Amino acid sequence: MNARAAAVAELERRIGVPFRDRELLERALTHASVGDGARAVGHYERLEFLGDRVLNLLAAERLMALDDKAREGQMSRLLAALVNFHACARVARRIGLPDALRLSASATKIGARALDSVLGDACEALIGAIYIDAGLEAARTFFLTFWEEEFADLDAPTIKDPKTQLQEWAQARGLPLPAYGLVGRSGPDHAPQFVVQVTIEGFEAEQAEGRSKQEAEKAAAMTMLLKREGSQ
């Protein structure tokens, strides 16, 4: 048994779902980069679409059960904390999904196996595959087991994201709101890199990179915050 086959077997053992449809499991663990070029390879994007919907349902169901007096706005905030690619990536690492992933050599070379965006998508695809292969109850068991730590962290203090912090910094000084603009994009479609610039009137613009425009915007905001606060 090669290393990846052993990792797939270990993944099944950890999640407690022995897949009947082996092709389905393989598709759930195959990144789109494997299909680059002339070969047509089934990858996880369609399963990711399904898994995202199943995950949202299960998280909403659990939040409703935990607090029958919670308002819609509060539950929406908690749902966003439970269902995002960072949370899914943490779960992916807990179950040993990175080693079971099938990626192209080029994606592996640039470190895609360690990216939260890749692992988060793959985790959602796995949930979709569990739903198809073993049903909603199996998907619910998976969710309740491996999202336990995410629920435990819901009461942890919330740290505002850098864009919110920068906006509040500007408002406190009577300045116009920060403006963000995309100034560059590079890399293949399955692993792009974005360069974003943030400007505030009266200050030097700052740039930063990220795997998505949103991530690059947050990085640029943090760069500006650190420089502005460091100069005070």
Active site residues: 52, 124
Beta bridge partners of 193: 186
* Burial of residue 171, with CB atoms counted within 10 A of its CB: 0-12 exposed, 13-18 middle, 19 or more buried: exposed
Closest alpha carbon to 150 in 102, 93, 189, 109: 93
Query: What CA–CA distance (Å, rounded) separates 214 from 197?
Result: 12
> Taking Cα atoms as reference points, which of 157, 156, 175 lies closest to residue 166?
175
Give yes or no for a contact between 101 and 111, defined as CB atoms under 8 angstroms apart: no
In the chain, count H helices and then E strands.
12, 3
Cβ count within 10 A of residue 87:
21
Helices (H), 29-155: 45-66, 72-82, 85-94, 97-100, 105-109, 116-134, 136-146, 148-152
Q: Which residues contact 98 (CB under 8 A, 6 or more apart)?
A: 92, 113, 114, 119
